[in-house]
Structure 1
Amino acid sequence: MEKPVTELCTHTPTSMNYRDQDLVDDLLGKRSFTEVMFMQIMGREPRPVDMRMLDAVLITLMEHGFTPSAIATRMIYMSAPENLQGAVSAGLMAVGSQFVGTMENNARLLEQIIEAQDQAAKAREIVLEIKANKSHLPGFGHHMHKPDDPRSIKLLALAQAEPELPGTYVKALRLLSATIDEIYGKHITINATGATAALLGEIGIPSTLMRGFAVISRAAGLVAHVAEEQKSPAGRFIWDKIDHEIPYVKTPLK
């Protein structure tokens, strides 16, 4: 086997480098966290448009109230307040195919459309297959935001206002959305993860890495839930509420 190498970091007794940048001389006090994060993950210098789109995505995905991830974090923190990182990591486990992390699945659909010679036909094929299988529509629908998700409207408008972006992912998403509405016979909103998939795709983030940015963003939001839990605990209330609302039913063994 070839000996592996790393391009991410090196250090000496008196210095440390992130890629080809000196941490002390080139980064500290000169670059933002988002810039350095992008540089580390993508291996290239971020453009101003990359930062605008990425910041918009990170802010959007940071918080959405008492979601499963936030509830998990609060419950674990209530149980083990000495283990803040354990509480946050518990919440991050909920970043998956149903909540927050669905941009990865949506982006894969957009990539199929972008790569197709007949994009309209490919979008139709995708939607018909999803409907036939009664599968979840990744990046579409929301239990609260109807008829449209205001976050998606803003995110897509931000992307379309950037002349430097190719617009291929946004175009594919809008085509997919119109096809869904036609085949399902009703309007189904593009949710925030659908819009963030398009924005991340526009700045060159591979679909296989998109969920990682959701993890980074949601981690900050979960730390905020821990901070609030320290001041105004909700974990015990959630526990008591469930204990009272879900009744015990005695049933004979089979």
Structure 2
Amino acid sequence: MTNPTAQNTPTTHLCRHTLTSLHYREADLVQDLMGRKGFTEVMLMQILGRPLRPVDVRITDVVLVVLMEHGLTPSAIATRLIYMSAPENLQGAVAAGLLAVGSSFVGTMENGSRLLDRILAAPDAQAEALAIAREHRARKQAVPGFGHHLHKPVDPRAYKLIELGRAEPELKGAHLDALMNLSQAVDEVWGRPVTINATGAVAALLGELGVPTAVMRGFAVISRAAGLVAHIVEEQKSPSGRFIWDTVEHAIPFVHEEAGPGV
């Protein structure tokens, strides 16, 4: 008789070890990976679990570089303030910054990718793209992957990413085509050119590599962690956390509440 508990036992394909060896999937860490493979290649091997092509590593590298640093954004400010408060806890400061990788900043490629998935699944890509643009316009919402408050009229990072993707003959280009269909629809519905932003282009490129939509934000987390460590290094040499705190405290005044009726 089969043991039902054994059938339901969780398994892992990521790592195993013996007294004398350690394997990442089927690769021996010491013999096959150390000194032979780069970080990006091993990371993709672990996340995607499939044989890699050189194009996978090239495109992922440029995506990680693009997402690593955006200046004094909420994630970097959070990291600097937490490090100021608890300098013994470097990892906590980085973790605080990573909590800001969400649907409004840094991690927006996930939202954009869902729209590209809709377009790719539709029988008429252009009609679906127009429907998406009109839906967002009617709700007075920006389309994920489009527009930028600093980079105008275009986000130069996005168009460089698209150019690099188009230059890779191994990529089919379906996600990039979906992005361009959506861009044309957004421009038409808004009645003016609206730039594709970096995370919009990242969504298309990661889609070209076969990265599932639900995993894409993880690439922003990996990349931004490195950038936040750099912010901590700068904070150690030239602290700004106290200045940020003092600036906010003086910029936001205390206002007495007016007494309500009967008070």
The TM-score bracket by the shorter chain reads over 0.9
The partner residue of 2:183 within 161, 168, 177 is 177
What are the within-5 Å matches in structure 2 for residues 1-254 of structure 1?
A: 2-254=8-260
- The TM-score, its normalising length taken from structure 2, stands at 0.95
Q: Distance in 1 between matches of 2:259 and 2:110?
A: 43
- The TM-score, its normalising length taken from structure 1, stands at 0.98
Q: Distance in 1 between matches of 2:222 and 2:136?
A: 30
CA RMSD of aligned residues (A): 0.9
Q: Distance in 1 between matches of 2:238 and 2:257?
A: 38
Amino acid aligned to 1:222:
L
SS in structure 1 at match of 2:77: helix
Q: Distance in 2 between matches of 1:136 and 1:220?
A: 29
SS in structure 1 at match of 2:181: helix
Structure 2: 5+ residue stretches without partners: none
Amino acid aligned to 2:29:
L
Q: Report the CA distance between 1:134 and its aligned residue.
A: 1.7
Deviant stretches of 4+, over 2 Å: none
SS in structure 1 at match of 2:153: coil
Structure 2 vs 1, CA of residues 253 and 46 (structure 1 numbering), >3 Å: closer, same or farther? Answer: farther
Q: Report the CA distance between 1:45 and its aligned residue.
A: 2.3
Larger Rg: 2
Q: Report the CA distance between 1:115 and its aligned residue.
A: 1.1
Structure 1: 5+ residue stretches without partners: none
Q: Report the CA distance between 1:243 and its aligned residue.
A: 1.0
Q: Report the CA distance between 1:3 and its aligned residue.
A: 1.2
Amino acid aligned to 2:58:
R
Amino acid aligned to 1:203:
L
Aligned pairs, how many?
A: 254
SS in structure 2 at match of 1:247: coil
Amino acid aligned to 1:79:
S
Q: Report the CA distance between 1:252 and its aligned residue.
A: 3.2
Tell me whether 42-51 or 158-167 shows the greater mean CA deviation.
Answer: 42-51
Aligned residues with identical type, % of pairs: 63
Amino acid aligned to 2:104:
Q
Structure 2 vs 1, CA of residues 86 and 253 (structure 1 numbering), >3 Å: closer, same or farther? Answer: farther
Amino acid aligned to 1:247:
P
SS in structure 1 at match of 2:75: helix
Amino acid aligned to 1:196:
V
Amino acid aligned to 1:186:
R
